[in-house]
Chains A and B, each alone.
Chain A
Amino acid sequence: MISIRQVSKSFGDNTAINGLSLDISDGEHVILLGPSGSGKTTLLRMINGLITPSSGTILINGQDIGEQPQHELRRQIGYVLQRNSLFPHYSVEENIGVVPNLLKWNKQAIRQRVKELMKKLHLPEKYLSRKPDELSGGEAQRVNIARALATDPPILLMDEPFSALDAIARKSIREEFMQLDEFQKKTIIMVSHDIQEAFELGDTILLLHHGELVQKGRPSELLYNPANGFVKHFLSNDYLQLSLAVTSIAELWNYLSGEGNNVEDFAGELACDTTVWKAMELFQGRKEDCQFVAIRHERTGEWKRVTWGNLMNAYNLLQYNSRR
């Protein structure tokens, strides 16, 4: 568990973080959101000691991080940076093996771990000896993630890890990352300026403004119960999309009408805990001649074969009824 207690940080006359307190539990995926200058990167970098708080304390598992050797602290915490921060003079293998090397693992173990991670992140083994400048942006960022995961640290800090990638690479790497078991079991704190990304990845969103915590909560809480006008305004541009992304099909199951029972003729199959947004993506990727998607309700075992129109109708009915 990470506990932040009354932490403030000023740079000269500028207050970056102002008396902030919060707890992050083990395995929680926390996204730091906020406009630029809101202090989100400062907060992230205080957790691994790259920035020392002006006042207040940060505890990891009850231990004050200020009281341990900083470089040893950082070796326990995975860190993924914004842009391409791979060491240009190291090969892919050496880059991924940096932290195990610092911890003096034996060479065999390092090599094995590097290969394992490359497989998980879909990097071909022939890349082992490549230099970072021979990689595409997406490949480099995969190596960057692998480097942070090398020693399987329980905590992972990520500073806008996907922001420098183009839209397509960003989406595919994000999805790969979400499927890693490392993602599932680690405490992750990630800075993002992409609200949709935040809603997709985060269990908890921390919305910061002028160095203060405006709201902490699940994505749907921020969307449907904004703490104040700032939160509402901050999310307003993406409201529809966010709403589709926080609504699961299970929530609108009762409004969803099926089209016949032909279980052979559909383009794809979904579980009902997927979000409406995901289901819409599946429609987008469907074959030309088939308009149906099969959805299964896990609890009842019931099947529904639906069209895009069915889904939209059900969503609208849900919105209409919940507003009333």
Chain B
Amino acid sequence: MNDDISLWDFVTRHWEKLLEQTGQHIGLTFMSISLAILVGVPTGILISRKRKLSSPILAFAGVLQTIPSLALLGLLIPVLGIGPKPAIAALFLYGLLPIIRNTYTGIVNINPEIKEAARGLGMSYKQSLLKVELPLAMPIIIAGIRIATIINVGVATLAAYIAAGGLGEFIFGGISLNNTTMMLAGAIPAALLALLFDFLLSRFQKMRFRKVASIFYIMMAIVLLSGFYIIPSIERSKLLAGFTPEFMGRADGYIGLQQTYGLNIPTVVVNDAVMYKAIYEKKLDVVSGYGTDGRINAYKLVSLEDDRKIFPPYYAAPIIKERTLERFPELESVLNLLAGRINDSTMTSLNYQADYLHREPAVIAREFLESQNLYKPSRPVGKSSVRIGSKVFDEQYILASIYTQLIRGYTDLNVLPKTGLGGTKICFDALMNDQIDLYPEYTGTGLTVMLHADTATVRRLAVNKDTVYAYVNRAFKQRFRVKWLMPVGFNNTYAIMMRKEDVRRLGIRTISDLSKYSNLQR
């Protein structure tokens, strides 16, 4: 894609942020691995002594390993909240298996003659362990620690989803913002970190046990001491904002808030799936949401007024490649059946059914189409098929389902759903690389993310929803040979949200009020 600046420029411009993220990344990995060693090595020793325990404990650690990383983070949030605590806990659990298993294997596989010699010469259990078994098993134990460390450097990028920082902020920001440079600015240091840690640990493998043991004790001391500082690191006396990686990097997002409103507020990066729950549970006070999100009412949130108009209109419309339309001209009229049918409140209520009541998007879609008298049963399918994509949030799933049912009811085309594509960049890249044929996009996103429109252009166009639509449609045709079909009707604008009670208590109504309040706090 056309990245405006080179990687070097990006790094020099954002080096402070990069250093901070790298520091957080190292901290998360170091803490979690140290804890995993602290628990894993003794557990490995225990099951090498009591062999009966080995199968259940190894199986349990193996099961932990198979839980998808995001799911594990999600499971830990109700218990540990957001921030470094659940991230370290999840990484700790991931590190356990290789360390336990290698400690166990290392000790069990020592030549029995040597173990017998240790006993026969009069070593106590403890002496045999410390003088013979652990030193001989050490290369294998360290190999386990190396594996765990490399896994955790990788998984720690996901910590960005739950406000624990780390290099994932750039990586996921880059993915959602269609910004390869930003992605690489996070991914390259992460890869280098993995290599560096692996190299350092390989040095340990060759050292004598006594030295390694003393380094190990020092490390444990550092962890125990730093535990007191790292864990409560997010201050809670002031208001705390949590923004998605995408919002953090968008001109019509955090950057706009800083430039236009002069907003200066402690901020963490957090995944939108976690964000609403976190603000509801008072882990966060200010979040970036979407105007039509179904959870706004459910979680008693209020959108602040965008009094200086930094958010352009985000009218949803399907975008489709012109080549696809040439092959299947009937698609245009079918997809346009939905034009203007869903207003803000309808979309919010559809989202509510999915976000909060956890109903199936396909069921919601069918009920909606029936209520609009648009539903037709599926026709027998012909040979051709179209692929519908969606981003990874409920509104997109619902729209994708509605389009699927319309196409199946009104044409002979088969539909292959390719839903749940990570972010704007992944979705749009999939469209350009002919992996999907169409997906629902928002005019404001097209304007700022794909077309990289500058602030002045955004402000000029943002006055009117139709001018934005006309602008993106024209520009997309020229640049990408992609057509914007008719907008569905609702405006899913970005919104800055706070809890109702806070808004009332602090007298904040607009984003300007929030900015004023947070500046007073400092």
Q: What residues of chain A have their CB less than 8 Å away from a CB belonging to chain B?
A: 48, 50, 71-76, 79, 81-89, 98-99, 102, 147-148, 157
Contact = CB atoms under 8 A, between A and B. Distances in A.
B119 A147 contact: no
A89 B117 CA distance: 14
Contacts of A89: 132, 135-136, 208-209
Contact of A99 (B114, B116, B119, B121): B121
A132 to B, nearest CB: 10
A87 B118 CA distance: 8
A85 B116 CA distance: 8
Interface string B127-144: 100001001100000000
Rank and list the top 4 A-B pairs by shortest CB-CB distance, nearest first. Answer: A75-B122, A74-B122, A85-B117, A79-B120
Nearest to B118: A87
A188 B209 CA distance: 35
11 contacts: A50-B119, A71-B122, A72-B122, A74-B121, A79-B121, A85-B117, A87-B117, A89-B132, A89-B135, A89-B136, A102-B123
Given A82-B113, A88-B114, A102 B136 contact: no
A98 B121 contact: yes
Given A85-B113, A87-B114, A102-B127, A74 B119 contact: yes
Given A85-B113, A87-B117, A98-B121, 20 more contacts: A71-B123, A72-B122, A75-B121, A76-B122, A79-B120, A81-B113, A81-B117, A82-B113, A84-B113, A85-B111, A85-B114, A85-B116, A86-B114, A86-B117, A87-B114, A89-B136, A102-B121, A102-B122, A147-B121, A148-B121
A212 B127 CA distance: 36
Contact of A83 (B113, B118, B135, B136): B113
Given A50-B116, A81-B116, A88 B121 contact: no
A264 B135 CA distance: 61
Given A85-B116, A85-B117, A88-B114, A99 B136 contact: no
- Dominant SS among interface residues on chain B: helix
Contacts of A48: 120
Contacts of B345: none
Contacts of B120: 48, 50, 74, 79, 81, 157
B333 interface: no
A75 B117 CA distance: 12
Contacts of A87: 114, 117-118, 132, 136
B285 to A, nearest CB: 57
B124 interface: yes
Contacts of B117: 79, 81, 85-87
A150 to B, nearest CB: 9
Contacts of A79: 117, 120-121
Contacts of A84: 113
A88 B135 CA distance: 10
Nearest to B127: A102
Interface residues of B, number: 18
Contacts of A74: 119-122
Contacts of B124: 71
A16 to B, nearest CB: 17
A88 B137 CA distance: 12
B122 A99 contact: yes
Interface in B88-123: 111, 113-114, 116-123
Interface in B196-243: 208-209
Contacts of A85: 111, 113-114, 116-117
Contacts of B127: 71, 102
Contacts of A88: 114, 136
Nearest to B136: A89
A50 B117 CA distance: 10
A283 to B, nearest CB: 40
A190 to B, nearest CB: 14
Contacts of A86: 114, 117
A127 B243 CA distance: 67
Q: Which of B122, B132, B136 has the most CB of A within 10 A?
A: B122
A74 B124 CA distance: 10
Nearest to A157: B120
Nearest to B209: A89
A88 to B, nearest CB: 7
B322 to A, nearest CB: 71
Contacts of A98: 121, 123
A76 B120 CA distance: 10
Contacts of B123: 71, 98, 102
Contacts of B121: 74-75, 79, 98-99, 102, 147-148
A48 B118 CA distance: 13
B479 to A, nearest CB: 66
A71 B126 CA distance: 11
A98 B122 CA distance: 9
Nearest to B208: A89
Contacts of B113: 81-85
B149 to A, nearest CB: 24
A50 B208 CA distance: 29
Q: Which of B113, B116, B121, B136 has the most CB of A within 10 A?
A: B121
Nearest to B138: A89
A147 B114 CA distance: 13
Nearest to A98: B121
A82 B209 CA distance: 27
A147 B209 CA distance: 22
Nearest to A147: B121
A81 B117 CA distance: 7
A173 B132 CA distance: 27
Q: Which of B111, B114, B117, B132 has the most CB of A within 10 A?
A: B117
Nearest to A75: B122
Nearest to A76: B122
A50 B118 CA distance: 11
Nearest to B117: A85
A157 B122 CA distance: 13
A88 B118 CA distance: 12
A87 B116 CA distance: 11
Contacts of B118: 87
A313 B207 CA distance: 67
Q: Which of A50, A76, A81 has the most CB of B within 10 A?
A: A81
A67 B223 CA distance: 44
A309 B356 CA distance: 110
A299 B117 CA distance: 47
Contacts of B116: 50, 81, 85
A79 B116 CA distance: 10
A196 B135 CA distance: 40
A82 B120 CA distance: 12
A79 B113 CA distance: 12
A161 B397 CA distance: 75
Nearest to A73: B122
A299 B434 CA distance: 110
B297 to A, nearest CB: 67
A41 to B, nearest CB: 11
A142 to B, nearest CB: 15
Contacts of B119: 50, 71, 74
